[in-house]
Amino acid sequence: MRGTPAMLYCRSMAETDVERLTRLMLDEFKGVNERLDKHEERFDLIDQRFDAVDGRFDKVDSELHSSRAELALIRRDLHDLSERVDNVNGFRKEIDHALERIAAVEKHLDIKKEMAA
């Protein structure tokens, strides 16, 4: 038979059977709805955690930006100083040592050298 619903209603079915089926379906839908609400609450908590982590990453990014700027300034100052005292070997060795240390920090932070010409 075409168009026959999966469950046929028989006139012989008592009203209580239909009521029980309705109650059963409503209970199941209520259970599904409650589970979905719990999932929504969990997703809200996860969103809050991601927002907190994102805020921490913003802070770290800001601090790294400050560190990069400071290292670049120190690098420029040391290069200027090395040009001024190029004839004094003791200072030159200390400056070279400081430049090597800055290069190691820059490498660790994955900072590309930006030399001012």
Q: Check pLDDT > 80 for residue 7.
A: no
Q: Calculate the alpha carbon distances from 89 to 48, 55, 77, 83, 86 in Å.
A: 58, 48, 18, 12, 7
**Tens-place pLDDT, residues 33-84:** 889 888 888 889 999 999 999 989 888 888 888 888 888 888 888 888 877 7
Q: pLDDT grade, residue 113 (50/70/90)?
A: low
pLDDT of residue 111: 75
Closest CA to 93 of 78, 103, 107, 77: 78
Using DSSP's 3-state secondary structure scheme, residue 78 falls into helix
Task: Report yes or no on whether pTM surpasses 0.85.
Answer: no
State how far the Cα of 75 lies from the Cα of 82, in Å rounded to an integer: 10
Is the predicted pLDDT of residue 94 greater than 50, yes or no? yes
CB 117 within 8 A of CB 83: no
Confidence of residue 30 (pLDDT cuts 50, 70, 90): very high
pLDDT tens sequence across 15-26 = 688 888 888 899
Rounded CA-CA distance 99/97 in Å is: 5
Burial class (CB in 10 A: 0-12, 13-18, 19+), 102: middle
